[in-house]
Homo-oligomer: A and B are copies of this chain.
Amino acid sequence: MKSTPATPKHPIESAAPKLLARVPMHVRWRDLDAFNHVNNSSYLTYLEEARLSWLKDIPGPWYDEHAVPVMVASELNYRAPIAWPAETTVELYCERLGRSSLSISHRIVEVGEKPSPQLYCDGRVVLAWMDPTRGKSVPLPKAVRDACSDE
């Protein structure tokens, strides 16, 4: 009997999430708080900055007046404190691509030549594209979908 490989239900989700971007992220002194480490809220700013750096370079519009991304959820695991000065890299991966939403997982790591650079933070954010004039979710812009897909 011939074995037919089952059609994967979610062909777009590959085993290894697709790397979307690796973005250098400079730590500002003002990102520290009075405990002398990067404040927990600054990590979300790093992710936002990396995400926008990725989005503004994809070929095609990632938003218009009827489709803007909004943050639905965030999950951050703080693996090691970040002191100052520091240069980091934010890696973004497409974890899950939905009709109107997108889960982007991340790793914030130490910059350098070390064989195993320090992992500062991992986790994910979930974005949904919404029509702000109607308050309803809309399909992901084609450029975003294409940029997340393994061609």
* A contact set with B: CB distance below 8 Å: 26, 28-30, 32-36, 39-42, 44-45, 48-49, 52, 56, 68, 70-78, 81, 84-85, 123, 125
Contacts and interface: CB of A to CB of B under 8 A. Distances in A.
A61 to B, nearest CB: 15
B70 A73 contact: no
Query: How often does this chain occur in the complex, in copies?
Result: 4
Given A33-B33, A39-B48, A71-B78, 5 more contacts: A29-B48, A30-B49, A40-B48, A56-B85, A73-B78
A45 B35 contact: no
A28 B41 contact: no
Contacts of A40: 44, 48, 71, 74, 125
A71 B76 CA distance: 10
16 contacts: A26-B26, A28-B49, A30-B33, A32-B33, A34-B84, A35-B68, A40-B48, A40-B71, A44-B44, A56-B85, A70-B78, A70-B81, A72-B78, A73-B75, A74-B75, A74-B78
